[in-house]
Structures are given as C-alpha cells and as structure tokens.
Amino acid sequence: MADRNWRTETIAVTAGRDESPGAPMNVPPTFSSTYRDGGTIGYGRYGNPTWSAFEEALGALEGGEAIAFSSGQAATTAVLSGLPAKAAVVAPIDSYLGTRGLLSRLEARGRLRLRLIDVTDTNAVLASFAGADLLWLESPTNPMLGIAELPVILAAAREAGLTSVVDNTFATPLLQRPLTWGASAVVHSATKYLGGHSDLLLGAVITTDVGRRQQLVEQRSNEGSIPGVMEAYLALRGLRTLAVRMAQQARTAAELARRLHGDPRISMARYPGLRSDPHHRRARAQMDGFGAVVAFEVADGGAADRLVSALRLIVPTTSLGGVETTIERRARWSGEERVPAGLLRLSVGLEHVEDLWEDLDQAIAGSRA
C-alpha cells in the first residue's frame, strides 16, 4: 500500500501493485469478458483488475479516484454527458481542438450553451462564472502554451459552487495537481505523456467526489466507453517511467526553446520555462516544471511546411507526448484558424538534444532557401 509520505516518483513506481505474498510484480492483463458467479466484477463492461491497477496508480498521483475510459475524448464526453440539458459551459478559446469540436457540436445540437474565454486572463475567467454550470480549463493550453492561473481560478470556482474540470494532459500530475487547488475533476488523454510511447489510446477522469466517481463508473458501464485491457496495462507500464521521461524531455525542451528563441530566423518561440515567456512567472509560481512542448513560429505557412518536410529525425505527425520528438503545423487543421499559420508545435522526446538541434537547424535553413 502506498505510503502517504512518498514522493511522486516513488508513487509512480509503486502504486497499483498487488502486494499480497506471491503476487506477480505487476498486475497482469486480465483478458476476460465475464467472471464466474460469486465474485465482485461479474461482466467485463463493469470492471477489470488491469483497469483498476492503472486507476489506482493514476488516482494516487493526482490525489483522487481515477476512472479510465477508452480515450481522452471518451473521458471528456463522460463528464459532459453528466450535465443537465442546456447547461452553460465556459471553455477556453485556445484548447485541444477535439474538446472544442465536441463542445461546438453539442452546442449546435442544443445540448448545451457554450461561452469561450481566454483562460490566461484571470479577470475574464472570474467574470464568466455568473450563470455557468461548468468551467472547463486547460493549462498549458494547446497549442499556444498559455498558462491559466489555476490556483486562483479553481479556489474561486469552488467558493462559487461552480463545477470545474481541468484537462491536465500537457502538465501531467508531476507538474501540477489541480485537485489540490479545488478542481472538481481532472481529465487526461493518457494517450500522451502517461502512456508515453505512441502505442495506445486511453483516457481518464479523476475526482475526489465519491458521488461523481460513482456516476462516471455507471456511465462507462452503460455507454460502454471502457478502456481496452492491453491499453490499461501498457499505460500503467508507461506511468512507471513518467517521472524520468518528463524530467529528461523537459530538460531537452528547455534547451531547444532557448536556442529557438535566440535564433534570428525564428519569429517567436513559446515555452513557459523561457524567462522571456509572457507566462513564465505564473508557470514558475504554480508548476513543478514546464513540460516538454515548445511552440515556435516561422515566416508563414509555406515556410513552416517546408521546414517540416526538410526534417530527417523529428517526425511530422499529429499527437504528442511520446518518447519520439514530433512536430506539427497546427493551423493545417480546419478549426485552428486562430493559430498563426507559421506556428509549429514541437513535442520533445528522448533523443539527444544535439541530434534534435542539428535536425531543426538544417530544416530551418532549408525552409528559407
């Protein structure tokens, strides 16, 4: 059983293990659609020991009870479907495109009312509370890496009795634990850093509210948005090394951001760890690190596309959070028009920093030819 005083790194390695004598070191994948009568689970849609092991570990890291879902989108959907009809939802203008798409489609169908705000503007966020049923937050935001003043906003939301949810995918519980600041729930795409190896899709909701947890478990059972057994197993395997991955990836990200920022060929580099970043002080005050995503901008969309095609090591792809460094021009997606056309989102992996820099350097040169 987890010692309350253990630090995050130790919890990541130990939580979710079966510590009975003779038990395997890690909870193995249990492939079973049904269970003999007389036990606790019954049918495979209601529970699975491998999901439970992953949930116990993630819950211990975030400081609540975790419920795993088939993807981050399924986790978000589960939270939103618990809302009353025509609920007023406040959400970030700059956020994961999938979340915004989901909210917009629900708004178009008359299921909810949507108000978009700049989450980095604390006064605007606080002013949006009146009449709201749900406050959805993301910080750092995707892809602009804006930082919301989460401790202040979440305390105010709790004071106002407003339900608040934080998508903690970019930061992970290693860098911030929104439940400790008063968030009603945290949502994850475990597809990204928690899994960490670009080999699975998985999501989770974490909450300290027993009633909300029960409601989410029932929803998952009823709607069938259950995680795969192998995915849960692999995600827990990924979680075991999250601390060293994040530390090393963030170190490399900081160095690449520093070099990009100082490079006259780059118009703008954003990374909360850069002293020059507009949200550096805020990030430093409330986070235990700055993460491994860097955004930078070149002249225009054409230059960005040429840069991406000239890369030899860094992989052009959507998604992020793996051990491989990946890059994407976000404005290529419809719905991301607010993002500057020449902005590239770099998810920094575990390759050597000098190999990554050499690749970026030659591709930046090539994009200008």
Ligand X SMILES: *Cc1c(COP(=O)(O)O)cnc(C)c1O
Looking at the annotation, which residues are catalytic? Answer: 45, 96, 167, 192
Q: Which is nearer to ligand X, 163 or 169 (CB)?
A: 169
The number of residues making up the chain comes to 369
Catalog residues that contact ligand X under the rule CB under 6 A: 71-73, 96, 98-99, 142, 167, 169-170, 189, 191-192, 201, 203
Instruction: Provide, rounded to whole angstroms, the least separation between the CB of residue 322 and ligand X.
Output: 12
Please say which residue, 154 or 303, places its beta carbon nearer to ligand X: 154
- The amino acid occupying position 253 is A
Alpha-carbon gap, residue 311 to 318, rounded angstroms: 15
Tell me the β-bridge partners of 347: 293, 326
User: Judged by CB, which is closer to ligand X: 17, or 100?
Assistant: 100
195 vs 315: CA distance, rounded Å: 18
Cis, bond preceding 173 (omega within 30 deg of 0): no
Q: How far is the CB of 192 from ligand X (least distance, A)?
A: 6
Q: By C-beta, is 290 or 363 nearer to ligand X?
A: 290
CB 102, min distance to ligand X, A: 9
Cβ 24 to ligand X shortest distance, Å = 28
Per the CB < 8 A criterion, the answer to whether 47 and 40 are in contact is: yes
The letter for the amino acid at 293 is: V
Kindly tell me which of 73 and 172 has the beta carbon lying closer to ligand X: 73
201 vs 155: CA distance, rounded Å = 32
Helix (H) / strand (E) element for 123: namely: helix 122-127
Cα gap 283→175, rounded to integer Å = 10
Beta bridge partner(s), residue 344: 296, 329
Nearest distance from C-beta of residue 146 to ligand X, angstroms: 13
Which residues, in sequence order, are CB contacts of 288 under 8 Å at separation 6+?
174, 175, 176
Listed residue (296, 311, 318, 306) closest to 351, CA to CA? 311
Helix (H) or strand (E) holding 138: strand 134-138
Q: How far is CA 233 from CA 16, 121, 307, in A?
A: 11, 39, 37
**Least Å distance between CB 345 and ligand X?**
10
Comparison of 189 and 208: residue with beta carbon closer to ligand X: 189
User: Which residue has 């989450």 as its token pair?
Assistant: 119
Distances (CA, A) of 214 to 81, 285, 364: 14, 34, 51
